[in-house]
């Protein structure tokens, strides 16, 4: 609600000394078209919330989305692009990642050790994306929200690395495959 | 891939090949036009399966694998080749299977999932660890 937003902003302002935080946010939608997320990132509400949090730079990888976020608030630099050959650098450089609920993007963010906000697209039909997002949130790896609650989530999120996500461990699967094909150890 | 194969003892007599096959259906494509594109995909897949006569088919979520597995099953039932089908369900599937998963579940020789709760719901599924 609006009152909660105003309260959270006030708390942020008092907690932060001027110039204390110089945060970078990286937002990614992978290969999807996620206009409601790009639209909310392009809004003064969310950008002001980011600024109050101490964010100075927002980079948006917008994929196939039509909306191109630009800076709506002074003091917050906003850069948007469609795709890049590798997003690794962008993840590593960010203090907070805002990601669509695609398993690939979320995993990349977690493996880069970034606090991750997963934004679920409530306009998608048959939304099985929510399953992964909820499961990861339940295990404490990410924080989920919807596009219209992004501002509040940005203000609330803690800038601490999430728990380490299990690495790819193909050993078990390889053993099962060997056994199936008759290669017993 | 080559260094990995050599490490596993492969003498390198056969180099890995990449073959492109058409999708049976694009995301959001109308079901009417899908009939034709599925037939095209089936034809391509028949050729690939016949040409290579694989011992193992390793596939994951996307429906592109369905026509390939279809022909492998045909070959198996006709006694031509006992091809093993290994299916790895997508990491995005936590509590339910994808459509490809549901279709291949009765036929796969190894059906791997990446979230443990699925093994309770689907008895033939095994947890193969996180493979994403």
Q: What is the rounded distance in angstroms from the CA atom of residue A131 to the CA atom of residue A120?
A: 10
3-state helix, strand, coil in chain A (%, to 5): 40, 15, 45
Give φ, ψ of A137 to 5 degrees: -70, -40
Give me the residues of B, 49-108, that contact A with CB < 8 A.
55-56, 58, 84, 86, 88, 90-96
Return the closest-CA partner of residue A120 out of A156, A149, A85.
A149
A30: left (phi over 0), alpha (psi -120 to 50) or beta: left
The structure tokens 């390198």 sit at: B12
- pLDDT tens column, A86-122: 999 999 999 999 999 988 899 999 999 999 999 998 8
Nearest Cα neighbor of A15 from A160, A164, A168, A158 is A158
- Spatial separation of the C-alpha atoms in residues B82 and A145, rounded to whole Å: 48
Q: What is the mean pLDDT of residues B21-41?
A: 83
Mean pLDDT, consecutive 10-residue stretches, chain A (185 aa), reads 73 54 94 93 95 95 95 95 95 96 92 94 75 91 94 92 83 88 81
Is B28 touching A (CB cutoff 8 A)?
no
- b/e per residue A13-36 (b: at least 16 CB within 10 A): eeeeeeeeeebbbbbbbbebebbb
Q: For B109, name the nearest residue in chain A, comparing CA atoms only.
A: A180
Phi/psi for A6 (5° steps) reads -65, -40
The model's pLDDT over A170-179, given as tens digits with 9 standing for 90+, comes to: 788 888 988 9
Asked if A125 has any chain B CB less than 8 Å from its own CB, the reply is no
Q: Does B131 touch chain A (CB under 8 A)?
A: yes
Phi/psi for A78 (5° steps) reads -125, 130
Q: Which residues contact A122 (CB under 8 A, 6 or more apart)?
A: A36, A146, A147
pLDDT at B1: 43
Q: How far apart are CA A99 and CA A160, in angstroms?
A: 17
Q: Which tens digit of pLDDT belongs to each residue from B56-108? A: 999 987 778 889 999 999 999 998 889 999 999 988 889 889 889 999 999 99
8 Å CB contact between B22 and B37: yes
A176 vs B contacts (CB less than 8 Å): 110, 112, 126, 128
CA–CA separation, B49 and B59 (whole Å): 14
Contacts of A85 (CB under 8 A, 6+ apart): none
Question: Dihedral sign, CA of A37, A42, A43, A46?
Answer: positive
């Amino acid at each position: 609600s609006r009152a909660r937003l105003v309260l959270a902003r006030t708390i942020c302002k008092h907690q932060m000394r001027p110039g204390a935080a110089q945060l970078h946010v990286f937002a990614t939608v992978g290969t999807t078209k996620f206009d409601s997320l790009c639209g909310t990132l392009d809004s003064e509400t969310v950008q002001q919330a980011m600024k109050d949090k101490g964010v100075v730079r927002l980079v948006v990888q917008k994929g196939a989305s039509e909306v191109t976020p630009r800076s709506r608030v002074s003091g917050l630099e906003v850069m948007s692009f469609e795709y890049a050959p590798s997003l690794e650098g962008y993840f590593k450089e960010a203090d907070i990642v805002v990601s669509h609920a695609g398993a690939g993007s979320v995993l990349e963010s977690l493996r880069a050790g970034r606090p991750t906000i997963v934004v679920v697209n409530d306009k998608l039909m048959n939304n099985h994306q929510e399953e992964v997002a909820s499961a990861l949130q339940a295990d404490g790896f990410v924080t989920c929200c919807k596009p219209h609650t992004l501002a509040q989530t940005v203000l609330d999120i803690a800038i601490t690395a999430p728990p380490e996500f299990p690495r790819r461990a193909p050993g078990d699967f390889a053993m099962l495959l060997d056994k199936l094909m008759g290669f017993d150890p | 891939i080559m260094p990995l194969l050599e490490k596993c003892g492969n003498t390198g007599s056969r180099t890995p090949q990449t073959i492109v096959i058409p999708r049976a259906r694009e995301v959001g494509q109308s079901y009417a036009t899908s009939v034709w594109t599925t037939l095209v995909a089936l034809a391509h897949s028949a050729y690939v399966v016949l040409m290579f006569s694989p011992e193992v088919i390793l596939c994951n979520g996307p429906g592109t694998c369905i026509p390939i597995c279809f022909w492998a099953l045909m070959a198996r039932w006709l006694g031509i080749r006992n091809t093993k089908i290994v299916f790895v369900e997508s990491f995005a599937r936590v509590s339910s299977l994808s459509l490809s998963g549901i279709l291949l579940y009765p036929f796969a020789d190894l059906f791997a999932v990446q979230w443990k709760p699925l093994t309770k719901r689907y008895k033939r599924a095994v947890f193969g660890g996180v493979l994403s």
